[in-house]
Amino acid sequence: MKTRLKFLTLVILAGSTLHSFAQDTKIRFFGQPVITNYKTTEKNQFNGVNGSGEYIKSDTTYKSESNFNTGNFVLFVTSQLSERLSVLGEANFNNDKKDFEFEMQRLMVRYYIQDYFSVRVGKMFTPIGYWNNQYTMGLVLQPTIQRPFAIRPISEGGPLQYRDIGVQFEGDNITNTRFSYKLFLGNGIGYYGSDDKNDDHIAVTAQVGAEPIDGLKILASTMMDRIEKGRPNPNGTISSLPDNGDLQLFVASLAYMNPTKKPEFIAELLSQTSKFDNLGSYSSHSYYIYGGYKITDKVTPYAMYNYTQAGRSTTEGDLYFAPIPVQVNQITLGIRYKLNSNFVLKAEYETETNKQFYQDIVVPGFGKTDNGFVNTVKNNRVRIQFAFAF
Amino acid sequence: MLFIMLTAFAPAASEIAVIVNNENTVDKLTPGEVKLYWLRKIKKRWPDINKNIKPADRKSKCSEQDTFYESVLGMSANDVETYFTQKQYENAEKPQDKFSSDDSIIDFVAGEPGAIGFVNVSSLSAAAKSKVKVVLIVK
């Protein structure tokens, strides 16, 4: 089925280029170099278990020199192929790491049928929550330097399947409440942008929302997919899932981002449940709250709090997300200077505490050989980002 | 005396006309309706003629643009740019077309059934008035 979806995508992408219409192509580039300085301290770093069944631990500190990073450089192209047909391509170039990376972020065709109904086919952002579809790579639009931890993509260590290949049916501005809907059928969990997952399950992502007043958006999104034994989970914390099961992600979003008003607010709650066929049900959740206030047309101080918990408690992990219970607390304070719509300077201080709860070691026949402990990693980061578009 | 000198040299606020194509069945629009159509906020296509709404803008800052942004849209130039960039980024929607003069806007609106733009009232000569339809005057 997934192969058929990819084929359909290719056919429509190819077909879209055959239209004889005065194309109107717009090309933009997004760039976002960053200067970063960080300090990391780690207490009780887990180094293994010795022959007596005791934990081996150590404390460490890492510090960085200030470093300049080119960040992502994004080529963004849209073209109106006909009255109702438009295409969008978004390619990301990055040399953050040792090797230069190129990734096709999006490549899609949108067919506008009427005000309440249009179809997209291709690679696109999944309709999960608010942030994911609003900002992502166009960081000149994004209110912070980095997206919240809860909704970071796999490539940044997060759990979210933030883009996928498939087909999406959508409509917006329905009735006075400006009701909107999106229904996306795609490859789903485990799709990395290659053919390394070729199972026969289609993931279904649905979103409904309303914008009762300008800039105020209320959204509910859900994604359902089948997960397979032996497959890795998307963020790589589990290389081989222990059982087949069903995975469901629910996201509730509330945002007030009106460019003509001073206050800014975004809050999203994510809850993920994996129901394994034989091993029970596990869950993780995360939320973030962002608030900003435009003190002038150009200057906006802001703050964000982000909490993530993998597992229901500090003693029960999540067999899908992270077998060792994890809690992440993150506070970001920043200021944004918008010179104009094409250049935004952001400066941020971020403090993050990441706790992993290792449980008591119990050896059958010997009983408990060591007490559990908490591995605590504290990160303090200062970042300055120059986000621009041209 | 100083007041008289300052006011004499202060740029006069432009009286602008919002224009649409002659094929468009719309005759009059309120500033609120112009805002919704020009920003393609609710509707993406004109209801009767079933054509894409194509907003026309000025390329550079000018008094006509200032009047339109301030009196009709209630937005700053940065807000307008960010709005269209966001729409383009999110939905592959085409941003507004930009022109360097009123005459170019009149020609564009005359040639595109779905176009809507704004020009200085003084630019609407008799010939220009025959090519486009005025749906709103803003002082």
User: Which residue in the set A83, A133, A259 is minimally distant from B79, CB to CB?
Assistant: A259
* Residue A17 scores a pLDDT above 60: no
Contacts of A80 in chain B (CB under 8 A): 94
Q: What does each C-alpha distance from A64 to A14, A38, A68, A333, B47 come to in angstroms?
A: 47, 5, 11, 20, 59
With 50 as the cut, is the pLDDT of residue B1 above it?
no
Weakest mean pLDDT among A148-152, A243-247, B52-56: A148-152
Q: pLDDT tens digits for A95-140?
A: 766 677 788 889 999 999 887 899 999 999 899 999 988 887 778 8
Sheet of B16-21: strand order equals B97-99, B54-58, B115-120, B16-21, B132-138
- Strand-pair category, B115-120 with B54-58: parallel
Please check the confidence at residue B11 and state whether its pLDDT lies above 80.
Answer: no
* Mean pLDDT value of segment A366-379: 91
In this structure, is residue B66 part of a structural domain? yes
**Whether residue A67 has pLDDT greater than 70:** yes
pTM of the model: 0.85
Residue B5 resides in a domain: no
Q: With beta carbons less than 8 A apart as the criterion, state whether A251 and A133 touch.
A: no
B residues 74-103 lying closer than 8 A (beta carbon) to A: 74-79, 81-83, 85-86, 88-95
Mean pLDDT of A151-175: 80
Averaged pLDDT, B104-125: 94
Per-residue pLDDT tens digits for A292-327: 999 998 999 999 999 999 888 899 888 888 888 999
Decide if B10 is inside a domain. no
Q: Pick the residue with more confidence: A232 or A42?
A: A42
How many Å apart are CA B109 and CA B19, to the nearest integer? Answer: 7
Inform me whether the C-beta atom of residue A86 falls under 8 Å from chain B C-beta atoms: yes
Q: Is A260 in CB contact (< 8 Å) with chain B?
A: yes
> Which tokens sit at A267?
């809050």
Give the span between the Cα atoms of A298 and A338, in whole angstroms.
Answer: 5
- Residues in CB range of A370: below 8 A, 6 or more apart: A49, A53, A54, A55, A360, A361
- Give the nearest partner residue to A110 out of B76, B77, B91, using CB atoms: B91
Residue B58: inside a domain = yes
At A96 the pLDDT is 66
Please tell me the predicted confidence (pLDDT) of residue A223: 92
Which of A28, A138, A173 is facing B42, going by the closest CB pair?
A173
Contact assignment for A260 to B75 by CB distance below 8 Å = yes
Output the CA angle A134-B94-A22, nearest 5 degrees: 150
Q: Strand A55-63 vs strand A117-125: parallel, antiparallel, or unpaired?
A: unpaired
A-to-B residue pairs, Cβ atoms closer than 8 angstroms: 65
Flag if A115 and B41 touch (Cβ within 8 Å): no
Looking at every residue in chain A, the average pLDDT score rounds to 85
Out of A96-100, A220-224, A242-246, B88-92, pick the least confident: A96-100
Range of the structural domain that residue B119 is part of: 25-134
Tell me what pLDDT residue A155 has.
Answer: 61
| pLDDT, average across residues A81-88 | 90
pLDDT at A241: 83
Residue A195, pLDDT score:
46
On the question of pLDDT at A369 being above 50, the answer is yes
Q: Token digits for A170? A: 């959508």
3-state secondary structure chain A: CHHHHHHHHHHHHHHHCCCCCCCEEEEEEEECCEEEEEEEEEEEEEEEECCCCCEEEEEEEEECCCEEECCEEEEEEEEECCCCEEEEEEEEEECCCCCCEEEEEEEEEEEEEECCEEEEEEEEECCCCCHHHHCCCCCCCCCCCCCCHHHCEHHHCCCECCEEEEEEEEEEEECCCCEEEEEEEECCCCCCCCCCCCCCCCEEEEEEEECCCCCEEEEEEEEEEEECCCCCCCCCCCCCCCCCEEEEEEEEEEEEECCCCCEEEEEEEEEEEEEECCCEEEEEEEEEEEEEECCCCCEEEEEEEEEEEECCCCCCCECCCECCCEEEEEEEEEEEEEEECCEEEEEEEEEEEEEEEECCEEECCCEEEECCEEEEEEEEEEEEEEEEEC
Residue B31 pLDDT > 80:
yes
The kind and range of the H/E element at B100 are none
pLDDT over threshold 90, residue B10? no
**A389 pLDDT exceeds 80?**
yes
The most confident of B13-17, B23-27, B48-52, by mean pLDDT: B23-27
Q: What pLDDT does A36 receive? A: 86
Taking an 8 Å cut-off on Cβ atoms, the answer to whether A76 and B74 are in contact is no
Cβ(A332)–Cβ(A381) under 8 Å? no
Given B75, B78, B82, which is nearest A141 (Cβ)? B82
When pLDDT is averaged across residues A188-204 and rounded to a whole number, the result is: 65
Q: Could you state, in order of their start, the residue ranges of all structural domains in chain A?
A: 2-389
Q: Is residue B6 part of a domain?
A: no
For residue B33, tell me if it sits in a domain. Answer: yes
Chain B nearest-CA distance from A389, in A, is 10
Contact state of B92 with A259 under an 8 Å Cβ cutoff: no
The answer, for A115 touching chain B at a CB cutoff of 8 Å, is yes
Among left, alpha and beta (phi > 0; psi -120 to 50; other), residue A188 is left
Q: Is this prediction's ipTM beyond 0.85?
A: no
What's the domain count of chain B?
1
Percent of chain B with pLDDT over 90: 64
Say which CATH number the domain at B109 has.
3.40.190.10
Would B68 be classed as within a structural domain? Answer: yes
Quick one: pLDDT at residue A190? 61
Residue B61 forms part of a structural domain: yes
Q: Does domain A2-389 have CATH number 1.10.10.10?
A: no
pLDDT at A353 over 60: yes
Using CA atoms, how far apart are residues A107 and A265, in angstroms rounded to an integer?
30
Band the pLDDT of A23: cuts 50, 70, 90: low
Please tell me the predicted confidence (pLDDT) of residue A16.
Answer: 45
Q: Is the minimum CB–CB distance between A78 and chain B shorter than 8 Å?
A: yes
Distance from CA of A134 to the nearest CA of B (A): 6
